[in-house]
């Protein structure tokens, strides 16, 4: 075992990351489905669709593709325009759409949060050394930058504040803004900022390869098979004193 920083290979880190992210997505989808059922999301969507159907019947139109819309006469297009305007100005419609949009954000955020909490915090607490199942399989561990074992608080900051908040939810929220809220420029800008910050973090810490979640928690990813990780800071100090004593002893000869 070696005291100096023993970084895992890029292949190991990528394989562990890919394994973990697939399982996190699967867990998040499962949790989101449960939350969706609890809050009755499908019923809220059905209400919006019922309101759409009401306007279709009232104006004598149907849901058609953009291609078919272009084939309509000017008079027919005018009917669709009037129906669309009336639909979007209906207070009941606005309320229903707002509720669905807010539920989409809430369900998505909660599903991902529970998945990250289980996979990146609770499981590593039992496996020790900050290991997820992916890291366990590929022999990777997480420790504090001084070589001491990661604490539960650091693990929480790393997983929830770092990974969930900055590295997952900000990009996800950006996509939601682009797709559902017509806030393309703002969403894309937010996504670019997070991406640039992550790249800058990796470049600035090229010796330790620390991502944003590592910088926030003062942790580093290491190769468990060759890395010496101390239980406490007292053990680290004792080790350094022993090494210093050995160096002094060798120097006397």
Residue 207 pLDDT grade (very low, low, confident, very high; cuts 50, 70, 90): confident
Higher pLDDT, 147 or 250: 147
Identify which of 207, 19, 32, 42 has the alpha carbon closest to the alpha carbon of residue 106: 32
Mean pLDDT of the chain: 88
Half-sphere exposure of 109 toward its Cβ, with a 13 Å CA cutoff?
13
Query: Given a cut of 70, is residue 57 above it in pLDDT?
Result: yes
Beta partners for 221? 142
CA 177 to chain centre: 16
Residue with tokens 């084939």: 71
Residue with tokens 């559902």: 180
pLDDT at 10: 87
């Amino acid at each position: 075992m070696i005291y100096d920083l023993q970084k895992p290979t890029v292949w190991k880190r990528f394989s562990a990351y890919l394994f973990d992210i697939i399982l996190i997505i699967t867990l998040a989808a499962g949790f989101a489905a449960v939350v969706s059922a609890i809050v009755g999301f499908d019923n809220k969507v059905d209400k919006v669709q019922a309101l759409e159907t009401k306007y279709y019947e009232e104006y004598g139109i149907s849901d058609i593709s953009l291609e078919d819309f272009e084939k309509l006469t000017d008079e027919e297009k005018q009917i669709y325009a009037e129906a669309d305007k009336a639909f979007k100005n209906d207070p009941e419609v606005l309320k229903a759409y707002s509720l669905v949009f807010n539920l989409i954000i809430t369900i998505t955020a909660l599903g991902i949060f529970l998945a990250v909490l289980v996979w990146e915090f609770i499981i590593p607490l039992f496996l020790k050394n900050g290991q997820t199942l992916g890291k366990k399989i590929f022999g990777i561990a997480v420790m504090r930058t001084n070589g001491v074992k990661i604490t539960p608080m650091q693990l929480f900051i790393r997983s929830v504040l770092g990974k969930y908040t900055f590295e997952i939810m900000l990009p996800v929220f950006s996509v939601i803004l682009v797709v559902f809220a017509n806030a393309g420029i703002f969403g894309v800008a937010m996504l670019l900022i997070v991406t640039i910050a992550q790249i800058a973090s990796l470049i600035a810490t090229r010796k330790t390869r620390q991502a944003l979640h590592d910088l926030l928690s003062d942790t580093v990813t290491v190769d468990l098979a060759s890395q010496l990780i101390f239980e406490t800071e007292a053990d680290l100090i004792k080790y350094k004193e022993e090494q210093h004593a050995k160096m002094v002893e060798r120097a006397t000869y």
